[in-house]
A and B are shown apart, each in its own frame.
Chain A
Amino acid sequence: MKVSLTVNGKPMSGEVEGRTLLSTFLRETLSLTGTHIGCDTSQCGACTVHVDGKQVKSCTIFAADVAGAQVTTIEGMANADGTLGRVQQAFQDHHGLQCGFCTPGMVMASAALLAVNPKPTEAEVRHHLEGNICRCTGYHNIVKAVMAASGQDVSMAAE
């Protein structure tokens, strides 16, 4: 069947099977490989994207089920002029990534948090990132980056 949706502001469509996951559709049909697959039990969050403004795990949602939706992926998070968006820039400034594999999911989850909670506490950030696993950073600089992206002072994150 044919599925049409809007991805990063552009109308996109492609043929899918019933079983085609949104993550597969993004990576293979649309070649948007910034969305990563790190597990097969819906736990790691590397595949996190926004559907109609809400963060979801694209590996646990069928492409056919989001026909007509607005999807945003990591490829759609930069500013219009191509510079890093606010959350992306904070991740670079605060070394919130190492191998980069979990990073797209972390950025998408963090952006979703800041959209509803512009000044989260440290505990709120940590709680919000419950579904995103990172093996490199020990989370320190990720949490710091999210708080910095919200405009808060991060000097309390001792180093």
Chain B
Amino acid sequence: MPKDFEAKTSGIGAPMKRREDIRFLTGRGVYTDDLKIAGQTYAVFVRSQVAHGRIKAINTEAAAAMPGVLAIFTGEDFKDVGGNPAGWLIKSRNGEPMREPKRPVLAHGKVRHVGDAYAAIVAETYEQGRAAAQQLADDTDIEELPAIIDMKAAAADASNRVHDEIPDNLCYDWGWIEDNRAKVEEVFAKAPHVTTLELVNNRLVPNAMEPRASIGEYFPGTGDYKLTTTSQNPHLTRLLVAAFVLGIPENKLTVVAPDVGGGFGSKIYHYGEEALVLAAAKKLGRPVRWTAERSESFLSDAHGRDHVTKIELACEKDGTFLAFRTETYANVGAYLSNFATVTPTFLHGTLMAGPYKVPHVYVNVKTVFTNTAPVDAYRGAGRPEATFSLERVVDQMCRELGLDPFEVRRKNFITPDMFPYTTPVGLAYDTGNYQATLDKVIEIADVAGFEARRQASAKKGKLRGLGLSTWIEACGIAPSHLVGILGARVGLYDAATVRVNATGNISIMVGAHSHGQGHETVFAQIAAEKLGVPESSIEIVHGDTSKIPFGMGSYGSRSLAVCGVAMTKAIDKIVAKGKKIAAHMLEASEADITFEAGKFQVAGTDKAKTFGEIAFSAYVPHNYPLETLEPGLEETAFYDPANFTYPAGAYLCEAEVDPDTGKVTIEAFHCADDFGNVMNPMIVEGQVHGGVGQGIGQALLESTTYDETGQLLTGSYMDYAMPRASDVPFYNVDYSCQTPCTHNPLGVKGCGEAGAIGSPPAVVNAVIDALHRGGITHVKHIDMPVSPQRVWAAIQG
């Protein structure tokens, strides 16, 4: 950690320890499954064992008669309620809107993936529910249909359909930017050199360590509902359940996301289990709870990535980029999860210029339905896919032309004098300094000493390589006006309410949701500095729609850049109101009141009131001029950013390959990031560590494999390789290159997704580099995960 950060002990920029840790470290966190509610019952879902089938009959009689069974629900019970909608309308190249099949609470008519829930049992105990679920599965007649698994085959075969009304299994065929297509083709036709790579961006299971869980309650006395659930965004869930699925008035539904054990995207979305527990709670008049088994999570959480891409790079012989062109097949699985349609399009195609001044880019994405679990945003969402394609093809081009990958990137970077810079794929980067982060990573990684380390590895019979990735992303999601033009059906502002209590302590209710990020600490740091009060007097409240203003939650590295700014705007209003009160109390003009370090003062005098005195006065307004000064000290602000933020950085991976077994060991991983201003460096480092850990997982270990019948072969930790402590090194993280965001007052950019975006291509580039330096020059590419057997097989040729 840089010294100037280490020195700070409070306020913005201090590496403050997290206050939430105390409860987590003592076993006193309260996650959804930890709650016990009087009269609770247990829901168990009956899930399809086949990938694709027509439901002929569900005979509930025997299951209903089993001990403890209280109710059975099937798709028939929900056929007249709404579907779980897609949050983003994408249009195909021909102007047609995407195909949007209904996503029901429980499958009706057909089951469309292994794990698709078609019935639910509610019972007195979990074990009774599970026994009845087994009985019901035995008593269900499903006619198995051929499974549609391979994307290209699905799009080519009109006879076999995931959804009967969609003939080619295509959700959309998207071009970005379609008007540029002809020009890009022209550039490619004349280009002195073209490099082509075919890549798979492997499907991942998010695997937040807390499995999804939901508890539905209904209060007949008032007609109110309460859903306690593992969500990254309780208001969004409330909106979806209320307005789209069950039709409950929003003001009769409270959604609470208490302590949530990780999300990484998978807990953004509304899932059918949440609607079921609410509907069942009303029907039974008792609380209904459900907690996923891990094996259920594998089958039913929204997965991530799953692209098959052909990328082409047109360039001069000296490596100057002329154009990028990609054709991608993106898997959405069996149904459209809430952000499934935007992830492979606007979160992916718009990043396809990278940090480079490439004049022409064209992106084509065909998004395909298959008989697999839904696929949606997972840490980075679209941007890791774009970065992987770009950074792999750039390295390959350098190899083909014998150019230095560091210098080629440097040559093609947008330079600091060019900002704001509009890319050919529609984004306006506000600021950045890509040369600086590249220089920094070269410095911290001791690139100069690499050759000696390589030789030391060679002496042990190991091949050592160096892999670079220079990444950029668009986050702080997002300006509503822009996403609205692009098809979003929601706004993406956020909100905060600052409530100063009479005794001077402060409750801040935020729309962002912390499921590991440490908002309770960081938001308090910022507010403390802005208000000149100690952190300990500030409480950050999140995750309960009955307490917080309507915010959009946390994903897309948006918490600080959007909600944090909303909070500072609310604080500005508090200060303005405080000045009014002070002016009244001090019998001065409002314009003469200054606010600094927690003190309201008449400029140029020693007349002052402390923050606490102002707060007390606001609630004991014995002599307020009520026509001009309202009692109370509470303000809300909504903030909608003017643009995305654009963090960027340079990552270097040093990897060692064991040629006898194919095993890759990450020897070192260096990150030089530009996140703009940093609020808590300890937390920023932790976010980068976590992202890089997941990126190394994607690059080396994690594979989500369905067989041709649609069975998930990697449905538990016995076969899905999660990164463990021994799979990763200590990471070397630097964030001293800072170009503050120009359009938000905190100057922050967002750091949550960075590590997962920048790291996979660095790892794969390092492996390919190691092989080439070791004389194994026939290997052009190895698909992720770059597993031992794949590396070994590639070496064999």
Contacts and interface: CB of A to CB of B under 8 A. Distances in A.
A107 B515 CA distance: 19
B479 interface: no
Interface string B1-23: 10000000000000001101111
Contacts, number: 195
22 contacts: A33-B33, A37-B211, A38-B210, A38-B294, A44-B294, A91-B21, A98-B262, A100-B21, A100-B25, A100-B259, A100-B261, A101-B31, A125-B725, A127-B725, A135-B207, A135-B208, A136-B262, A138-B694, A140-B730, A141-B689, A156-B730, A159-B732
Interface stretch (A50-58, A60-68, A69-77): A69-77
A99 B686 contact: no
A44 B717 contact: yes
A43 interface: yes
Contact of A137 (B18, B21, B686, B718): B686
Contact of A142 (B24, B34, B725): B725
Interface secondary structure of A, over-half rule:
loop
Nearest to A41: B716
B27 A101 contact: no
B261 A99 contact: yes
A135 B262 contact: yes
The 5 closest A-B pairs by CB, nearest first: A34-B27, A138-B693, A101-B261, A100-B24, A99-B516
A12 interface: no
B683 interface: yes
**Which of the listed residues B716, B717, B726, B730 has the most CB atoms from chain A within 10 Å of its own CB?**
B730
A32 B36 CA distance: 12
Interface string B25-51: 111111101101000000000000000
A92 B726 contact: no
A71 B677 CA distance: 46
Contact of B726 (A73, A88, A126): A126
Contacts of A136: 209, 262, 516, 686, 690
**Interface size class for chain A?**
35 or more
Given A32-B27, A36-B31, A95 B210 contact: no
A48 B441 CA distance: 39
Contacts of B17: 92-93, 95
A93 B264 CA distance: 24
Given A127-B726, A143-B730, A103 B207 contact: no
Contact of B694 (A88, A102, A135, A142): A135
Nearest to A138: B693
Contacts of B18: 92, 95
A32 B515 CA distance: 21
Contact of B717 (A34, A39, A84, A159): A39
A148 interface: no
A108 to B, nearest CB: 10
Among A33, A46, A125, A143, max chain B CB count under 10 A is at: A33
Identify which of B17, B209, B518, B755 gathers the most chain A CB atoms within 10 Å of its CB: B209
A133 B694 CA distance: 12
Contacts of A127: 725-726
A75 B685 contact: no
Interface of B: 1, 17-18, 20-31, 33-34, 36, 127, 207-211, 259-262, 264, 293-295, 515-518, 682-683, 685-686, 689-694, 696, 716-718, 722-726, 728, 730-733, 755
Contact of B210 (A34, A92, A101): A101
Contacts of A129: 724-726
A22 interface: no
Contacts of A104: 27
Given A84-B25, A92-B25, A134 B518 contact: no
A138 B20 contact: no
B295 A40 contact: yes
Contact of A159 (B28, B517, B685, B755): B685
Nearest to B685: A159
B92 to A, nearest CB: 36
A48 to B, nearest CB: 12
Nearest to B724: A130
A46 B29 CA distance: 14
Given A92-B17, A99-B261, A101-B262, A133 B518 contact: no
